[in-house]
A and B are shown apart, each in its own frame.
Chain A
């Protein structure tokens, strides 16, 4: 909604003292697909940002040459206190290769991932889906973010174009709308509960 945005985040929005555990869902997708919009629509705090930088050049060999190749990978995130003792964190991340190189551990222990798609730029999501399937084994649901000028493709056509498995959920959403965004999360968690790991013994 019309939350006040300031230059620096105001610290101190602590979790309730009853919260004793945290879980996370990744929100992945190409640049501009609406990850931070969706996170902002459901988060109880204004979305926060943290950045990691990697220097890929040969540091120290020729200090006179300013040809370092520094890459920044940003992560926008928000949180929802879903029960009095559980906080759900939503980590919004670009899903390209260099991101996974840097954040290899981020998917560990995640409930799953929402893969956000813009049907105007469907090809941008191929690498994201490839990397997600290659680097992780977490359940995911595909979210088609509806923009005013999005072409009106039936979901089954998008499913076919993305070569999704029949069991992978695909839903439309308006990332600006809180209820719409919440529904995508519900879809993902319901899907996660059917994931093979839970068909086995609950150790």
Chain B
């Protein structure tokens, strides 16, 4: 019946992010590496998912990995991660500019690494 309608996933997503579709920073990509800041306890106002997210990031993970483990869309997790970075609970490990192609030195290192596989 009608209740089925209210379980619609995208709508639930926006409730989780207080209605926002976009993160407070636009440098987050699926491959952006994030990690919890150990010295920073999660605010008591944080929700269950935020806690779960910070818990997941006790070691370094990419945004896409966090999304997959939480079974949530990357776009939604980007909003949550952005908030948690603002709150000081998460830090962004990879700090290269998102729109810039990897330099030749990086490509050479990747190539070396692949040849050793």
Contacts and interface: CB of A to CB of B under 8 A. Distances in A.
B98 interface: yes
Interface string B32-74: 1100000000000000000000001011111011011101111
B114 A24 contact: no
Nearest to A183: B114
Given A83-B109, A189-B111, A89 B104 contact: no
B21 to A, nearest CB: 11
B67 A50 contact: yes
Contact of B60 (A11, A14, A86, A193): A14
A14 B59 contact: yes
Contacts of B19: none
Interface residues of B, number: 49
Interface string B89-117: 00001101111111110111111111101
Interface of B: 2, 4-5, 8-10, 29-33, 56, 58-62, 64-65, 67-69, 71-75, 93-94, 96-104, 106-115, 117
Q: What are the nearest 7 A-B pairs in CB distance?
A: A14-B59, A82-B113, A48-B68, A15-B60, A11-B69, A22-B31, A24-B31
Interface of A: 8-9, 11-12, 14-17, 19-24, 42, 48-55, 63-64, 66, 68, 70, 75, 77, 79-83, 86-89, 91, 105-106, 108-111, 138, 178, 182, 185-186, 189-190, 192-193, 197-198, 202
